[in-house]
Amino acid sequence: MHHGNHFYGHAHVLAGYCGLDPADPPRIDGYLQHGWNVVDGLGAGTPYAPGRPIFVWSERTRRRAWSMGRPLATVIGAPFLYLLGSTPDERAGRDGTIWYPFHGWEGQHVTGDHQRLIDEIVATEPGPITFCLYWQEFRDDRVRAFYERAGRVICHGYRGYMRTRTDTRFLHHQLAELRRHRRVASNRLSSAVLYGAAAGCEPAVYGDPMHLAAEDTSTATRIRREWPELHGVAPDPAAARESALAELGDGHLAGPAELRAILGWTAVREPA
């Protein structure tokens, strides 16, 4: 239905899990949460057709959606957890930190002192450090140069827009990188930090949080207040992972047949 269902290859991951063609996922009958947030599961400004279902990651998000007048919310868990559970970890060990700098998006650009943040990261992390930039910052030669002077720089791919240029293997790239690192860190709590904790990394959130243009800073303050167990240079890994899994909907994952029914895919034929 909404093109955001394809962001990061989410629909493709769920189609593969359901035994359908991951290269050509069927239309999802509703709105799929495409990133961790602290409202109703939909992205800010997402056009919503009243009466359509929302498929959210966690029970906490479902309750928020209900309180905001959107009762047709069903908890299915994050697509990342479906991929995590169905992809064997073939690596023998982990080393270093993968760092996700807070990023902007098409509608808002991030502002802040990248070099000051990098100096703090280098002084804190024992290394080696991999910096994973969002596609927007990765394509900015000026911004990317800051990070290239301090460590390895990668990008998981383009999330997609209006069902075009979507890197359908985005989550696969991300999972592979998380599994090669001992730590995952960022200057803002985000999906990437939660994914890393779920994948076995020691999470951390510290450093200059930076800002988006016209950002509501009260939301960032609320996040730091409500999830203290995930903030700091060295949070308790067990408590942080428990919290991350709850936000991702661990315990609410559906089986393939059930998920097909939930997403409106029961009439879709499996590939020959």
Rounded distance between C-alpha atoms, residue 128 and residue 4, angstroms? 34
Pick the closest to residue 152 from 180, 187, 120 (CA basis): 180
Whether residues 37 and 55 share a domain: the answer is yes
CA distances from residue 192 to 17, 67, 106, 248 in whole angstroms, order as listed: 21, 27, 19, 11
CA 176 to centroid of chain Cα atoms: 14
Please give the structure tokens belonging to residue 112. Answer: 């802040």
pTM to 2 decimals?
Answer: 0.95
- Domain with residue 162: its CATH number is 3.40.50
Pick the closest to residue 58 from 27, 89, 80 (CA basis): 80
- Looking at the structure of the chain, the number of domains it has is 2
For every one of its 272 residues, what pLDDT tens digit does the chain have, with 9 covering 90 and above? 688 899 999 999 999 999 999 999 999 989 999 999 999 998 777 778 888 899 999 999 999 999 988 899 999 999 999 999 999 998 889 999 999 999 766 656 777 889 999 999 999 999 899 999 998 889 989 999 999 999 999 999 998 777 778 899 999 999 999 999 999 999 999 999 999 999 999 999 999 888 876 677 788 889 999 999 999 999 999 999 999 999 999 999 999 999 999 999 997 777 76
Q: Give the domain range for residue 122.
A: 97-248
Residue 162 lies in a domain: yes
Residue 84 lies in a domain: no
Whether residues 114 and 171 share a domain: the answer is yes
